[in-house]
């Protein structure tokens, strides 16, 4: 029987915590995530083991940090953008902005967009050092998924830094994508199905 996250956590709302038990990538184009849910009431149903199967697997980041208890599925989360095949790069010139303020603005924007799941270094030009490119008058700031680059470009706009967003070849993404966030981990696939193991 297919379950939704709402069916699984029911009325517990924020009164549960998750624990990632296993991730299996062995089936081609699929991922299986086994996790435990502990509910606050400590009844017989207070501990449950679930398996989530993601079909059309695209990407993931696994982190078993126990301090996170988030569990959700979304089809419009910015985390999905990291799998976007449409790529762009941002070039800037005539940078007269305060480099420290600009760095803080980019860190803040990236964190609001992708939280702690995706490191900023994944897209930003690493030369001469992390965000050190912003101390230059011109350069290539970042390359990556177009939608993320568009958000980065808004920061340059706010600081009145001349910039250009150069788009690569545009691919039409026909497949739907969802992200399943479990604790400090996330998984991106076309669809997810839940099954209670015990």
Residue 44 has pLDDT above 70, yes or no: no
Contact 133, 127 (CB under 8 A): yes
Q: Answer whether residue 9 shows pLDDT above 70.
A: no
Distance, CA of 76 to CA of 79 (rounded, Å):
8
Res. 103: pLDDT tops 50: yes
Share of the chain above pLDDT 90, in %: 39
φ and ψ at 143, to 5 degrees? -135, 140
pLDDT confidence band for 47 (50 / 70 / 90): confident
Domain residue extents for the chain: 5-81+178-196, 85-167
Integer Cα distance of 33 and 184 in angstroms: 13
Mean pLDDT over residues 64-89, rounded?
Answer: 81
> Among 73, 95, 99, 105, which residue's Cα sits nearest to residue 2?
73
Q: Give the angle 82-108-101 at the CA atoms, nearest 5°.
A: 130
Q: Give me the count of residues in the chain.
A: 198
What is the rounded average pLDDT of the residues 34-41?
78
Which one is predicted more confidently, 50 or 15? 50
CATH number for 85-167: choose from 3.30.1380, 3.40.50, 1.10.3210, 3.30.70.
3.30.70
Provide the pLDDT for residue 129.
74
Contact in structure between 50 and 63 (CB atoms under 8 Å): no
Quickly count: other Cβ atoms within 10 Å of residue 117's Cβ: 16
Cα 145–Cα 149–Cα 151 angle in degrees, nearest 5: 125
- Segment 130-178, tens digit of pLDDT: 788 888 899 999 999 999 999 999 999 999 999 999 988 666 666 789 9
Specify the higher pLDDT residue, 171 or 53. Answer: 53
Identify the residue with better confidence: 87 or 129.
87
What average pLDDT does the segment 35-60 reach?
80
pLDDT at 57 > cutoff 60: yes
- DSSP letter for each residue of 30-93: EEEEEEEEEETT-SGGGEEEEEEEEES--EEE----TT---EEEESS-GGGGGG-S-EEEEEEE
* Rounded Cα distance, 21 and 23, in Å: 7
Confidence band for 1, pLDDT divided at 50, 70 and 90: very low
């Amino acid at each position: 029987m297919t379950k939704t996250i709402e069916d699984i956590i029911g009325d517990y709302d924020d009164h549960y915590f998750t624990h990632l038990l296993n991730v299996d990538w062995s089936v081609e184009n699929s991922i299986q995530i086994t996790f435990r849910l502990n509910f606050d009431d400590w009844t017989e149903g207070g501990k449950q083991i679930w398996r989530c199967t993601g079909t059309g697997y695209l990407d993931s980041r696994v982190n078993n940090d126990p301090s996170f208890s988030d569990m959700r599925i979304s089809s419009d989360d910015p985390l999905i953008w990291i799998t976007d095949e449409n790529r762009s790069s941002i070039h800037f010139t005539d940078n007269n902005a305060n480099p420290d303020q600009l760095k803080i603005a980019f860190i803040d924007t990236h964190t609001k967009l992708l939280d702690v799941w995706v490191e900023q270094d994944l897209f930003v030009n690493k030369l001469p050092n992390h965000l050190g490119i912003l101390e230059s008058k011109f350069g290539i700031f970042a390359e990556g998924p177009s939608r993320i680059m568009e958000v980065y470009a808004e920061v340059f706009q706010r600081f009145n830094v001349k910039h250009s967003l150069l788009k690569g070849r545009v691919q039409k993404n026909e497949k739907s994508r969802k992200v399943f966030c479990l604790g400090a981990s996330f998984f991106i696939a076309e669809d997810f199905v839940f099954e209670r193991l015990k």
